[in-house]
Amino acid sequence: MPAFKMGFQKLQGTVCVTGAGGFLGSWVVHLLLSKNYLVRGTVRDPLDEKYAHLNQLPNASSNLKLVKADLLDYPSLFSAIQGCSGVFHVASPLPSSPVDLIEPAVTGTLNVLKACLEAKVERVVVVSSGAALMMNPSWPDTRAMDESCWSDVEHCRAIENWYCASKTEAESKAFEFGKANGLDVVSACPNLIFGPILQPTANASSLLLAKLLKGSQPLLSSVRMSKTCSDYAEFAYIHVAKLLPKLVYGF
């Protein structure tokens, strides 16, 4: 991982990362361990070999604990989050049908936030997506997108873009819950994240890049069809920075 020059003011205590075994989750865990955080990573099965790469990260033997948790199983989430000062909610549900994305995405996110509230977590970073803000046909082309821009959920449903609808509703509900309950919630909205893979299987953005290189994925023909990209290291760093005190980084 590249060296980061910005200083850290550490949050005290253990940090939980949901979905620790995925592409971004693995890099967030990597960065946290490199900064000597105590990390609790949630996975589906801590003994599964597909998560072995996490236990091989620097400082993992002393600072990393993998625990079993399911976004739709509140007791397992609370058990994983209890005793943590901060939480990165990176995990996403994997329903059998794309149409079924919305409800588990919202329910899973709210379960994480309810567990954080009960466990008295100091701050929660919710990993959303650029999909939660870019699917808005009413947004003027000449106006830069900012925190006030949200994807139009009804538009997403009409065009059957269930991923965009799920990310938009989950992030919106997360902020509503945080405001209503006094929970410090921040979000980050990456687009396609590219970089080296820590996990044993390729993620969606890496597969897209492979298809482009092989010529099996057509090049995008217009600005509206274009895809924005994020660097894996910079985005992992942004996530960790968002967990730190607001007075330090202003998030």
Q: What is the pLDDT of residues 223-249, one digit of tens each?
A: 444 455 555 455 555 656 666 554 334
Can you give the C-alpha Rg of the chain in angstroms? 18
Take residue 190 and report the two structure tokens written for it.
Answer: 């990456």
Exposure string for 193-206, b = 16+ CB within 10 A, e = fewer: bbbeebbeeebebb
Segment 180-188 shows an average pLDDT of 93
Question: Measured over all CA atoms, what is the biggest interatomic distance in the chain, rounded to whole angstroms?
Answer: 51
Contact present, 115 and 94 (Cβ < 8 Å): no
- 3-class DSSP state for residue 5? coil
Pairwise CA distance, residues 44 & 93, whole Å: 11
User: Which one is catalytic: 167, 214, 242, 246?
Assistant: 167
167 is catalytic: yes
Q: Output the six-digit token pair for 117.
A: 């509230």
Measure the CA–CA gap between 168 and 102, rounded to whole angstroms.
9
The answer to which of 28-37, 85-94, 147-156, 207-216 has the lowest mean pLDDT is 207-216
Predicted local distance difference test score (pLDDT) of residue 195: 76
The C-alpha atoms of residue 125 and residue 127 are separated, in whole angstroms, by 6
User: Which region among 76-85, 118-127, 203-212 has the lowest average model confidence (pLDDT)?
Assistant: 203-212
3-state helix, strand, coil in the chain (%, to 5): 45, 15, 40
> Lowest-confidence range among 8-22, 57-71, 153-167?
8-22
Residue 221 has pLDDT above 50, yes or no: no
At the topology level of CATH, where does 14-199+230-249 sit? Rossmann fold (3.40.50)
Question: Minimal CA–CA distance to 18: which of 73, 82, 84, 69?
Answer: 69
Please state the separation of Cα 12 from the chain's center in Å.
21
pLDDT at position 222: 41
Q: Dump pLDDT digits (tens) for 88-128.
A: 999 987 666 777 788 889 999 999 999 999 999 999 999 88
> How confident is the model over 3-47, as pLDDT tens digits?
434 444 556 689 999 999 998 899 999 989 998 899 999 999 999
**Residue 215 — very low, low, confident or very high, per pLDDT cuts 50/70/90?**
confident
pTM equals: 0.81
Percent of the chain with pLDDT over 90: 47
Summarize the confidence of residues 202-226 as an average pLDDT.
61
Residue with tokens 């200083």: 7
Distance of CA 251 to the CA centre of its chain: 16
Is the pLDDT higher at 135 or at 247? 135
The encoded tokens of residue 235 equal 């985005």
